[in-house]
Amino acid sequence: MSELAKKRSCGDCSACCTTHSVKRLKEPFAPCHNLGSEGGCAVYASRPSACRTFRCGWLSGYIGTDNQRPDMTGLVPSRILVPPVPGERITLVELYPGASETEQAQQLILESKSKGYEVKIFAFDSPIPERPNIYDLLD
């Protein structure tokens, strides 16, 4: 774990609870039913192991500044090694329609590309089979 990752926490962010599927909860790509009306997990102490161990690319310290947390940029980054293609891919999932077009999101995208990452953006309304499943994104 990087030094940056050790300093970061989700805080008030619960973006991945909206953008990612958790098979065990049988709620593909819909906001988790345990997500409180003002964010946060209603079953945090007993949340599924996939939720407990998932760390987005921002939380892991791979991309983004402290001011580019997913709930601030509208993009949830995941770091995925893509074999057999050399290099790494950052998958950015929109938290709301048009999130990838905001100035802050565009800055995050450019910074990711400047670090040599291949960037793939999943639109908020992208077809369900194309969107990432939290089990596929565990670091």
Q: What is the pLDDT of residues 46-89, one digit of tens each?
A: 888 888 888 888 998 888 899 999 999 999 988 665 544 456 77
pLDDT in tens, 9-57: 988 888 888 887 666 555 555 678 888 777 778 888 888 888 888 888 8
On the question of pLDDT at 115 being above 50, the answer is yes
Contact at 8 Å (CB) between 61 and 2? yes
pLDDT at res. 88: 76
- How many structural domains compose the chain? 1
pLDDT at res. 63: 85
Q: How far apart are CA 51 and CA 74, in angstroms?
A: 19
Task: List, edge to edge, every strand of the sheet that includes 88-94.
Answer: 75-81, 88-94, 118-122
Structural domain of residue 93, as residue ranges? 3-137
Q: How far apart are CA 120 and CA 64, in angstroms?
A: 16
pLDDT at res. 139: 37
On the question of pLDDT at 100 being above 70, the answer is yes
**pTM, whole model, 2 decimals?**
0.79
Instruction: Print burial letters for 24-60: b (CB count within 10 Å at least 16), e (below 16).
Output: ebeeebeebebbeeeeebeeeeebbebbeebbbbbbb
- The closest of 124, 122, 70 to 97, measured between CA atoms, is 124
pLDDT at res. 72: 94
Contact at 8 Å (CB) between 105 and 84? no
